[in-house]
Amino acid sequence: MYGSVDRVDLYAGAVLEDPVIRGLVGPTVACIIGPQFARTRDGDRFYFENPGVFTRAQLAEIRRSSLARIICDNSDSINMVPREAFRLGPVVPCSSIPQMDLSHWQER
């Protein structure tokens, strides 16, 4: 259809590329969206990892949190969840999933 690999449309070529290691897209799309995500993150003054948004202790607690814990904390009748909420696997009791220590947000 294109006559030469040098004339392949960007979208068609990008869709056909093999994904990068540990990725869902090929190298061309990774080179396009990777820097864009970085610029979006770095330009967002409210992004949680930017300096001055949270203290080190608060960041450590945020990084301990998980979707599984959020599901446990915000559900009335769920007592068991997968440890990694987006993956299939054995379910564990909510009591075995670490909770955030909110005392790091208390004003002193």
The 3-class secondary structure across the chain, one letter per residue, is CCCCHHHCCHHHHHHHCCCCCCCCCCHHHHHHHHHHHHHHHHHCCCCCCCCCCCCHHHHHHHHHCCHHHHHHHCCCCCCEEECCCCCCCCEEEHHHCCCCCHHHHCCC
What is residue 91's predicted lDDT score, i.e. its pLDDT? Answer: 94
Residue 75: inside a domain: yes
- Check residue 44 and give its pLDDT: 92
The confidence score (pLDDT) of residue 4 equals 83
Residue 50 located in a structural domain: no
Instruction: Please state whether 3 falls in left (phi above 0), alpha (psi between -120 and 50) or beta.
Output: left
For residues 82 and 86, what is the distance between their CA atoms, to the nearest angstrom? Answer: 8
What is the predicted pLDDT for the residue at 89? Answer: 86
- 39 & 60 share domain: no
Q: What is the pLDDT of residue 107?
A: 84
61 and 88 in a single domain? The answer is yes
Number of structural domains, the chain? 2
Q: Distance between CA atoms of 63 and 49, rounded to whole angstroms?
A: 10
pLDDT of residue 79: 93
Residue 65 placed within a domain: yes
Model pLDDT, residue 52: 87
Whether 51 is covered by a domain: the verdict is no
Residue 25 structural domain:
5-43
In a domain, 89, yes or no: yes
Confidence (pLDDT) at 99? 92
Low-confidence residues of the chain: pLDDT under 70: none
pLDDT at residue number 72: 94
